[in-house]
Amino acid sequence: MSEFSWFIAATLFATYVVVDVLYALYIVCVERRDALRAAALSAILYSLLAFGVVTYSKNTLYLIPIAAGAFVGTYVTVRYQG
């Protein structure tokens, strides 16, 4: 297991906040049948998600900021979407 870095943890938290916001936008684009925007969002999402997977596979403690970022991203998106 690699050494834990608070900078990486904060970066993962912010990344997964963005991931969840983008995922919500992706769902909206799919529902609207906006293929180009949905495809672009999908490419961005998978790139950001891969960053998280590569990082937490080296140290599972990084799952904590990832989960917290996902929670905050979903909460903010749902709370202020409507």
State how far the Cα of 82 lies from the Cα of 78, in Å rounded to an integer. Answer: 7
Helices (H) and strands (E) in the chain, counts: 3, 0
Q: What is the chain's Cα-based Rg?
A: 14
pLDDT, position 82 = 60
pLDDT in tens, 48-79: 999 889 888 889 999 999 999 999 998 998 88
User: Do 54 and 12 contact (CB within 8 A), yes or no?
Assistant: no
Tell whether the model's pLDDT for residue 1 goes beyond 80: no
pLDDT, position 57 = 87
pLDDT in tens, 21-41: 999 899 999 999 999 999 999
Tell whether the model's pLDDT for residue 81 goes beyond 80: no
Residue 72, C-beta contacts closer than 8 angstroms, at least 6 positions apart: 13, 17, 20
